[in-house]
Amino acid sequence: MSFDGLMAKAITKELQEKLETGRISRVYQPYKTELLFTIRAKGTNHSLLLSANPSFARIHLTTEKYENPQEPPMFCMLLRKHLEGSFIEKIEQIDMERIITIDIKGKDELGDTTYKTLIIEIMGRHSNITLVDKDSKKIIDSIKHISPSQSSVRTVLPGQTYEFPPAQGKINPFSIDEEGLLSRLDFNQGKLDKQILETFSGISPQVTKEIVHRAKLTQQKAVAGAFFDVIGPLKNNKFEPQMVLAQNKEAFSLFPLTHLQGDVRFFTSVSELLDRFFFGKGERDRVKQQAHDLERFLRNEFQKNEKKIKKLEKTLVDAEKAQTYQRFGELLTANLHLVKRGDQAINVLDYYDENGATVSITLDPQKSPSDNAQHYFRKYNKAKNSVAVVEEQIEKAKLEMQYLEQLIQQMEAASPKDIEEIREELIEEGYVRRRQKDSKKKKKPTKPQIESYVSSTGVEFFVGKNNKQNEYLTNRLARQDEIWLHTKDIPGSHVLIRHTDPDETTLTEAATVAAFFSKARQSSGVPVDYTKIRHVKKPNGSKPGFVIYDNQTTLYVTPNEDVVLKLRK
């Protein structure tokens, strides 16, 4: 489900109850299109996330932790100047559109009272967050600037008068009765879900599919009944926040989705639902944009090694013919008197064959009989000597693929911070060059920041998300008798339990997190080994993050994102 007008209505209602009269104490901009407000309201601190992300635009309260840049962006600095210390007077939704306004009362540098409006437009790639002077309607600034060359309909630039996006002329679904509904639908035309979508504002395709599914029949009374069955509770602010996981597809809704079959999870608030649904999605999208070149490089290197191994295996097959080349050389030497320059082949008695059969030997007509024999001896020696070299190269290429596969898996679960550590590792290993803009800046080595978790029984454990973190966790942070976990023969994270004899619950939960941050994230019954740190060794000269271990015990667990969220500190 997209963030539609119905969802905007629900989140607006929730924010009104929790944030109105609250004081904005801090403004952050962790990413280019996202803002995080800390608001003190009704004796509690709240974190409000505003996102104009093209794929995941939204607004809701969040419990997630975001890393902020060392130097705040200009838009963040401007918001801090105008909004920090100000009070939220009113939060409203514009009609049934995906537009939410936040009226804010504050004071300027002279101590005079000011009134500003923060306007959040949640419209896919056209999403925006704009700060407007409430009295003059002048735009102070926006997170995205829209110039006349980008849009002939509406510009969004500092100093211009703010205008709401053009109205679509649709009907508010809460303002219509049964007679009005039926008069606007053409039952002979069919495609009732599309008709409802084009007629009413604030409704997404998922909602119209649910209405048609509930109607079962296309009779007028059935359709009207299904329409008001869905819309009625929402009109009265009766929401049932829930998420459905059906056939590798996730959907979120404010009411039961009977047209989707799958696992249903219920939430106590709309913000909790949205925070859970979008967990990691926006971050993975940012990682994909920031590290597209890196991921493509890793996959290309992986494929190169695959092709290299195929060629080497073919060379190995050829090398296995060494004995044949030796036999041909000896047979030619024994029959030189029968060979003439210019012959292309010769049939000779194969005295190696018990049955006394003859064998045909291919010759180079440009060479003398003796040179042809020596040619086969040289091929024999080359093939014999190459076997050990080729086998060594195959093993090296397989280790390289194992390392690259580990990095690709780490990219899939990485945060933007993790990506920079992976990039730095590849630079240190000689895979990629340092970017020119970074080469001038000499960065001091920093201690990797390891994610921390606490089990249900109160035992702390840590998870490495890339090789730098894994090596620090295993080789420096860990103590000899503490428990170390890793997925068995599967690329994944190193996990360290800060305990020498953890209980079964802690072991199972730590193993579940280890399986989640591995290549087997989408599998079930994933084998996870655990052993004491003293039994984990890093071979000399091995790739970053590679270790060997023994004295292990294996657990079988199923990765669960809910467990990860629940246990993360």
pTM: 0.72
Distance CA 26, CA 16 (A): 19
Backbone angles phi, psi at 436, to 5 degrees: -60, -40
Residue 367 is encoded by which pair of tokens? 């060479």
How many CA atoms lie less than 13 Å away from 95 in the CB half-sphere? 17
Note the pLDDT tens digit of each residue in 287-341.
Answer: 777 777 888 889 999 999 999 999 888 888 777 777 788 888 888 998 888 888 8
Contact, 158 vs 180, CB < 8 A? no
DSSP string, 509-525: HHHHHHHHTBTTTT-SS
Residue 368 is encoded by which pair of tokens? 């003398």
What's the pLDDT at 430? 86
What's the pLDDT at 44? 95
Residues with Cβ within 8 Å of residue 87, at least 6 apart in sequence:
21, 22, 23, 24, 104, 105, 106
SS3 201: coil
Distance CA 299, CA 404 (A): 8
What angle do the packed helices 220-235 and 205-215 form, to 10 degrees?
130
Helices (H), 453-521: 467-472, 504-516
What's the pLDDT at 436? 62
Residue 126 is encoded by which pair of tokens? 């056209």
SS3 49: strand
DSSP string, 140-165: EEESS-B-TTT-SS--B-TTSBP-PP
DSSP string, 368-415: -HHHHHHHHHHHHHHHHHHHHHHHHHHHHHHHHHHHHHHHHHHHHT--
Q: What's the distance, Cα to Cα, between the start and end of the chain in Å?
A: 29
- Which domains, ranges and CATH numbers included, belong to the chain? 5-142 (2.30.310.10), 173-285 (1.10.8.50), 294-409 (no CATH), 451-567 (no CATH)
Distance CA 130, CA 146 (A): 11
**Is 197 exposed, middle or buried (CB count within 10 Å of its CB: 0-12, 13-18, 19+)?**
middle
What's the pLDDT at 322? 78
Contact, 154 vs 187, CB < 8 A? no
CB atoms within 10 A of CB 24: 25
What's the pLDDT at 439? 52
Per-residue pLDDT of the chain (569 residues; tens, 9 = 90+): 579 999 999 999 999 999 999 999 999 999 899 999 999 999 999 999 999 998 899 999 999 888 888 899 999 999 999 999 999 999 999 999 999 999 999 998 888 999 999 999 999 999 999 999 999 999 999 999 999 988 888 999 999 999 999 888 899 999 999 999 999 998 888 889 999 999 999 999 999 999 999 998 778 889 999 999 999 999 999 999 999 987 778 899 999 999 988 889 999 999 999 998 987 777 777 777 777 788 888 999 999 999 999 988 888 877 777 778 888 888 899 888 888 888 899 998 888 887 778 899 999 999 998 999 999 998 888 877 778 788 889 999 998 998 999 898 888 778 777 888 888 888 888 888 876 655 555 555 678 889 999 999 999 999 999 999 999 999 999 999 999 999 999 999 999 999 999 999 999 999 999 999 999 998 999 999 999 999 999 999 888 989 999 999 999 999 998 899 889 87
Distance CA 131, CA 114 (A): 13
53-92 as b/e: b if 16+ CB within 10 A: beebbbbbbbebebeeeeebbebbebbbebbeebbbeebe
What's the pLDDT at 444? 58
What's the pLDDT at 413? 77
Distance CA 526, CA 554 (A): 10
Contact, 74 vs 54, CB < 8 A? no
Distance CA 39, CA 526 (A): 42
- Beta strand 460-463 with 451-454: parallel, antiparallel or unpaired? antiparallel
DSSP string, 242-308: EEEEETTEEEEESS--TTS-SEEEE-SSHHHHHHHHTTTHHHHHHHHHHTHHHHHHHHHHHHHHHHH
Note the pLDDT tens digit of each residue in 486-498.
Answer: 999 999 999 999 9
